[in-house]
Structure 1
Amino acid sequence: MKKNKFIVVEGMEGAGKTTACQTIKKILLLKMIKNVIIVRQPGSTFISEKIRSLITSEHKKEKLNKYSELLLLYSARFQLLKNVIQPQLKKGNWIISDRHNLSSIAYQGGQGIKNSLIYDLIKITNKFAKPDLTIFFDIKQEIGLNRIILRSKLDRIEKKSSIFFSKVRKNYLKYISLNSKKIIINANLDLKMVNNHLKKKLNNWLKNSQ
């Protein structure tokens, strides 16, 4: 059996990350890898889920400052890394995470926060665990936003402007290109084609990974 891995799924709203996490788990199960845990960021611990609710909800009495948002996100991330991801990896379990550090570079960077500050926080996360693979689902902002409008009520983040999401996608494309441990999936296609591309690329990665 292959050594366990930490796999991160990234992408903008409407890219299909949640569905992709389940698909990845099914692919791993077909490879007889049964010890797989799916987590989401922010979230997946008691405290992290409370922080998630605080970040995604709108607050009429007070606006959430972008630096407060960044630090809240990393508070949730540290809780998850310390209490779930790191110990489960040590036990030999595989981790699939819906979002990780690249989301902060894309989203918080899109709000004008300097990368140097985000990278200082990333250095701390790397002491807990580093992703073995990042799977980026690239989607045009208008397609992604149309999908989430049809899906459910928009949260505070999803209501941000198209200009903001344009910055987010540019950040994603820029920084995923610098990552040597990546798979890029065209999420603009229909679900069947997206899944086929995911299965092909992930199986190839599994074949060649140690």
Structure 2
Amino acid sequence: MPIGHRQSVVPHPHFVSLEGGEGAGKTTVLNALRATLRERGFEVVSTREPGGTPLAEMIRNLLLDPSHEPPAPETELLLMFAARAQHVRETIRPALERGAWVISDRFTDSSYAYQGGGRGLDPEFIADLERRVVGLRPGLTLLLDIDVEQGRERTRGRDLHPDRIESERDEFFQRVRATYRARAAADPQRFRVIDASQPAQAVADEAVAQLRAWLERRP
């Protein structure tokens, strides 16, 4: 069936996503999860959004470069989904179909949080795009939850040149966090919320524990 006609969103048990606001420490967690899966003999594809393919990385640069004119919220959302459609078709689905695990630094929940909660776009519009151009959802999503002020303090020492989204005001990120937390509360079967204010190793250890528990329940 052509990707544009897909009308359902199907979770895949070997697809894991990491979500969270700025400074949550997703990279450290991703590395720990990847090592855990490889120790068990699995092929692991680690990727990110926006991005994950050469074309999607070009779209990422358009989205995040602060030197461009600010995109309208709808433009930002549609570019995110253009990159995601390419990412799913070229990277994620082929990996899952050959039996690999996929770990993605962000996926569609980010659009609900950033373009929905942050920009105020209608979540039903986002859900329609998710059905029509993605059709896929992680089986497990780890939400690294951290207070906005603490998370941004972490990034201030790291990002000498923040991108366009990282430059938003705290109020924007408060809305993003609230949306993430609401989505996690509404879907506890998929989400695991981890306190990302802890030291990095403690966060990674908790994420690995959640993944191991997930592995015990999955085929």
TM-score bucket of the superposed structures, by smaller chain:
over 0.9
* Structure 1 position 202, deviation (Å): 1.7
* Matching of residue 39 in structure 1 with residue 54 in structure 2: no
The residue number in structure 2 matching 1:197 is 206
Tell which deviates more after alignment, 141-150 or 191-200: 191-200
C-alpha distance in 2, partners of 1:104/1:114? 11
- Give the letter for the 1:30 counterpart: E
What secondary structure is seen at the aligned counterpart in 2 of 1:132? strand
Corresponding residue of 2:71: 64
C-alpha separation in 1, matches of 2:27 and 2:207 = 14
CA RMSD of aligned residues (A): 1.5
Deviation at 1:125, TM superposition (A): 4.3
Partner residue in 1 for 2:121: 113
Q: Distance in 1 between matches of 2:202 and 2:62?
A: 36
1:132 maps onto 2:150 in alignment: no
Secondary structure of 1:131 counterpart: strand
Output the TM-score relative to the length of structure 1. Answer: 0.93
Report Cα offsets for 1:105-159 as digits up to 9, x if no partner. 00001211011100001112453x3211111100111111111111122111001
Residue identity (%): 35
Counterparts of 1:126 and 1:78, CA distance in 2: 6
4+ runs of 1 displaced by more than 3 Å? Answer: none
Tell whether 2:165 aligns with 1:157. Answer: yes
Give the counterpart letter for 1:151 in structure 2.
Answer: R
Instruction: State whether structure 2 residue 105 is matched by structure 1 residue 98.
Output: yes
Deviation at 1:96, TM superposition (A): 0.5
- CA-CA distance at 1:76 after TM superposition: 0.2
Structure 2: runs of 5 or more not aligned: 1-11
TM alignment of 1:70-85, pairs within 5 A: 70-85=77-92
Name the counterpart of 1:172.
180
> Aligned pair 1:146/2:149, yes or no?
no
Map Cα deviations across residues 77-130 of structure 1 (whole Å, 9 max, x no partner). Answer: 000001111111111111001101110000001211011100001112453x32
Which of 5, 16, 20 aligns to 2:25? It is: 16
Q: Does the 8 Å CA contact 1:4/1:92 hold for their aligned counterparts? A: no
Residues 19, 105 of structure 2: 8 Å contact kept = yes
CA distance in structure 1 between the partners assigned to 2:89 and 2:107 by the alignment: 14
In the alignment of these two chains, the number of paired residues is 205
Name the amino acid aligned to 1:184: V
CA distance in 2, matches of 1:23, 1:7: 13
Unaligned stretches of 5+ residues in structure 1: none
Deviation for aligned residue 1:206: 1.1
What amino acid does structure 2 have at the position aligned with 1:56? Answer: L
Distance 1:37 1:186 in 2: 25
